[in-house]
Amino acid sequence: MGSVLSQKMTFLQPMLPESATVTVQPATLADIPTIVNLAEATWEPTYRFIISKDQLEYMYRVIYTPASLQRQMSEQGHQFLLLHYDGRPSGFASFSAKDAGTYHLNKIYLLPSHQGQGLGQQLIKAVEDIIRSAGGSALELNVNRYNPAISFYERQGFQRHREEDIPIGPYWMNDYVMRKELL
């Protein structure tokens, strides 16, 4: 499947200072160092109270090496978006097609200093808009069953669809699969 990403989206968010500009644009292989930097700043604060330090480090090494990100983009069909706040990279998301109009939100992370300002909502909206324009009808995501972000996803219209326990190396991801119909 070819990429459905082709345009840069600009948002003005009322929760942010009036002069703040937020852009969401497709990421390319050249953006991998930026994604790694954002992951380094967001991964540990996101998971330190949810999973063990050993699991946190193991999963980070599996998911966020430059080689792994390149495989995700080039071979696994993951499409990445970068969010810039006043010209600075501040977050990212990735998604991929699953089956028959259903897509999966693989990742969504914002710098801790930028959370609670409506930026995550804008990233999800950008993903949803792209998926709708590609003919997609549903978006699913996995979230750890103890992650406080569950309430954020519920406010965005996602509902708990099922539980899923996924092995990753010597560890388990104990997740909810949440789903949103894109009408």
Q: Give SS3 for 111.
A: coil
> Mean pLDDT per 10-residue run, the chain (183 residues)?
42 54 97 97 92 93 96 98 96 96 97 94 97 97 95 97 95 96 92
Query: For position 20, what pLDDT does the model report?
Result: 79
- Domain 9-181, CATH homologous superfamily name and number: Gcn5-related N-acetyltransferase (GNAT) (3.40.630.30)
Residue 94 CA to residue 104 CA, distance in Å, equals 9
List the structure tokens of 123.
């990233």
Please state the domain extents for the chain: 9-181
Angle ∠(58,151,163) on CA atoms, nearest 5: 60
Vertex 77: Cα angle to 76 and 81 (nearest 5)? 120
